[in-house]
Structure formats: C-alpha cells, structure tokens
Structure 1
Amino acid sequence: MSHRRTHLWISLIVGLAVWGAYFGHFLQQMRRGDTGGLALWFLGALAVIVVVETVATGLIAWLFRRRARELDDGPTLQAALKASHVALMLLIVMALTAAAVLAFASLFGWSLDLSAARGQVVAANALLAMVVIAELLRAALTLALIPRR
C-alpha cells in the first residue's frame, strides 16, 4: 500500500472515530439543553486528530521508508484532484443550503435565534459538520479513485 493510501486510511478512520464521538457528545448535550464545555470538546477533538494523524503517518512513513515510491503524478494525482473537486462542490452546496435556510426563515419573519448562546453553538457545529463531511468525503473518494496496483 502506498504512503498516500495509508495516510488517507488513517485520516478517514481517525476522522470518523474522533468526529463521530464529538458530534455524538454534541447531540447529547443539545438534548440536555447544556452547551457548556463544547468548546473544550472541540479543541480536544482537534488536538487528538492532529496528534494521532501526525504520529501514525510519521510512523508509517518511517517503517516503510525503504519501500517508498515516488508519487505517481498521473492517476494518483487525478484521483486526488477529482475527489477534492467533488468535496469542494459538496461544501459549497451545504453552505448555500444553510444560507438559503436563513434567507427563507427571514422571508417569513422566523427567528432562528442566532443571537443566543445555544443558537450560536448550533450554527458553529453545523459549519463544523459541513467541513468534516467534506473532508471525510474527500479522503474516501480519493481512496476509491486511486488505481489498484
């Protein structure tokens, strides 16, 4: 398995586990009506992602340094570009959908109460979810599109 493919698997698995735990905790907190401590959970999840991916990728690179190959600029790069494009388009669609929901709500005079702490937490986590979904899609789609050798 190439270093790029290994890194993508690490990113996908760690991302699913850490962000899954974070958003699970977020949903539990929202059901209870408690938004306290979510900023620390977010910072903790971000730190875990950075440390685990860095250590795991570095360890894999070190262990397989003798078998390392040059990055294939052809099919591998094309797979990464296609996956990144699809992820970017999904992120744009999600952001435009969120903007449309806000515009639609204001059209009818509905308030989503984004001035209150709870509304701000929900909005921040919705934006975070959009980025996480796009990144996980990019990693998964790149893995799917990289040619098998």
Structure 2
Amino acid sequence: LKDFPADQRPPVAIPFFAFRIMVGCGILMLGLVLVGGWLRWRGRLDASPAFLSITQIAAPIGFVAVIAGWITTEVGRQPWTVYGLLRTADSVTPSLTGFDVMLSLIGYVAVYLIIYPVGLFLMLRIVRKGPAIAAEIDVEIEGGRPGAPVRAGAVELREG
C-alpha cells in the first residue's frame, strides 16, 4: 500500500474486518449444516431442541454474510470505481442532487412499508385459515383431468 499515493489507498480496516465477518458467518453456517446432517443421520434431528433453537437464532447469518461481503467489495475497491480508469469521485452523476437521492429513498421506503405488512397479513390469513378440507363427493371430470393443476396428485384431507 505504501507504493501508492495516500489519496489512492483504500481504507484497510473496514474490508479487513468485513471479510473476516463474512468468512466467519460462512464457517458457522457450514458447521450448522454438518451438525444438522450428523443429527439427521443419527435420527435425532427432531429430538434436539438445542440445535433447533440455535438454527432459529442463526437464521439471519446468511444476510449478515452477504452484507459483509458487499461492504468488503465496495469499500475495498475505493477510491476506484474501475481500477486505474475511473475514480469514485469522478463517477458521480453531475445532475444528481441530494434531493433526488432523498426522493428515491423515500419512494423505496414507502413501497416496502406497503409491501411488507400486506404480505405479512396475507400469510397470517392463510395460516389462520388452515389446510382446506376436500369435498366428500368427488365429481369425475370428463377426460380424467383434475379440477385444477395444483390438485393433481395432491393428498386430499377428509373430515373424520
């Protein structure tokens, strides 16, 4: 790094630690997969509340790994957008203002504030409704086709 002028050196600490976080998350995920495979092989996967709790806690680790990798890539290439050709300071769109960026951010936030609750509401409604009970009388369809493509080969539940 000392061979380059100070204004062309990337920050070192951020990509250094972000890379290690990314690799650490990957190793943790691999370890969970191996332990889960071993428990499955032994027939104790369902009977291991400790492992199941750990997997619930570890659910966001993949997301953390992706973000750490993104930080490693973006910060590690500074101050170049395209190494040796285009510096980050020169790659900013001259007509883009702070207001434009804020407006775009507000638009994305608004859309996600609508999409997330609606999706959550629909999923909870499906869960509350529960599995559908099949009709007692099966009506034969001419040609032997099912009533809907999704019902083909489905195990039908009956009230008992």
**TM score, norm. by length of structure 1:** 0.35
Structure with a larger share of its residues in helix? 1
Greater relative contact order structure (CA < 8 Å, 6+ sep): 1
Structure possessing the higher radius of gyration over alpha carbons: 2
**TM score, norm. by length of structure 2:** 0.33
